Amino acid sequence: MARTPAELAGAEPDPPFEITFDGRTVTALPGQSLAAALWGAGILAWRTTRAGGPRAAFCGIGQCFDCLATVNGTPNRRACLVPARPGDAVTTQEGHGHGPLGV
């Protein structure tokens, strides 16, 4: 009988919690990055380029900046590096996240 890694290690993870993405409730697990939680919910893009093209995690290790998202009102957060926390509000980021600054 196959056992999960958590069972093999005798781990008892904390219970799942909720975050939101553009107002939609998403379930996240302790230790997940925001990108992992979004992917797990079937959300495949959370940023658009200046030209409107969809973007999400590409490298998954914080090197490429494709996974930028607005998290709790702060733009340009790398979703692959930010740990999901209960109540986080992630919103789609349009372009480079500096629209109001005119940059």
Q: What does the alpha-carbon distance between residue 5 and residue 77 come to, in Å, rounded to a whole number?
A: 30
Kind plus residue range of the DSSP H or E element containing 27: strand 24-28
Residue 56: inside a domain, yes or no? yes
Residue 101: inside a domain, yes or no? no
Domain span at 52:
15-95
CATH number where 41 lies: 3.10.20.440
Residue 80: inside a domain, yes or no? yes
Residue 79: inside a domain, yes or no? yes
Residue 60: inside a domain, yes or no? yes
3-state secondary structure (DSSP) of residue 6: helix
Contact 44, 54 (CB under 8 A): yes
103 band by pLDDT with thresholds 50, 70 and 90: very low
Kind plus residue range of the DSSP H or E element containing 91: strand 89-91
Q: pTM of the entire structure?
A: 0.81
Comparing 96 with 32, which gets the higher pLDDT?
32
Tokens of 1: 């009988």
User: Based on the structure, what is the number of domains in the chain?
Assistant: 1
Residue 9: inside a domain, yes or no? no
Comparing 95 with 60, which gets the higher pLDDT?
60
Residue 33: inside a domain, yes or no? yes
Residue 8: inside a domain, yes or no? no
Contact 68, 79 (CB under 8 A): yes
Reported as a single tens digit per residue, the pLDDT across 29-82 is 999 999 999 999 999 999 988 888 888 888 888 888 889 999 999 999 999 999
